[in-house]
């Protein structure tokens, strides 16, 4: 996804910065990573508080195969399908990702 499209997707939250990483892009708001762009899919940050809402909305958690072939779950989730067609709903999920980043940063 090009940077202009990413910025438009996150405009309901405010300005974002985009940095290349892991063969994809990290998306930051106020210095905190809130999302990834991997293989042209945006994945939003979640934590223990917000992950159940992502799961209930049908989102999929990002994982990769670890050294022993077991999946390693990462704290990033796909955007629920309903939010892709509704800017107001998308804004709510993006804000939830930022709130998760705030909580994670506060707890470290």
DSSP string computed for 2-38? -HHHHHHHTTTT---EEEEETTEEEEEETTEEEEEEE
CATH superfamily of 3-83: YgaC/TfoX-N like chaperone (3.30.1460.30)
Q: Give residue 32's pLDDT.
A: 97
* Domain coordinates in residue numbering, the chain: 3-83
Q: What is the mean pLDDT of the chain?
A: 94
Q: Give residue 30's pLDDT.
A: 96
Q: Give residue 108's pLDDT.
A: 61
Q: Give residue 23's pLDDT.
A: 85
% residues pLDDT > 70 (the chain):
99
pLDDT exceeds cutoff 90 at 22: no
Per-residue pLDDT band at 19 (split at 50, 70, 90): very high
């Amino acid at each position: 996804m090009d940077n202009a499209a990413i910025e438009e997707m996150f405009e309901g939250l405010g300005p974002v910065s985009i940095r290349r990483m892991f063969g994809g892009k990290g998306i930051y708001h106020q210095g905190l990573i809130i999302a990834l762009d991997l293989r042209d899919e945006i994945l939003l940050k979640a934590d223990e508080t917000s992950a159940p809402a992502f799961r209930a909305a049908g989102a999929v958690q990002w994982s990769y195969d670890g050294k022993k072939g077991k999946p390693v779950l990462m704290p990033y989730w796909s955007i629920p399908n309903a939010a892709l067609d509704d800017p107001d709903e998308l804004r709510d999920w993006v804000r939830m990702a930022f709130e998760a980043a705030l909580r994670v940063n506060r707890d470290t």
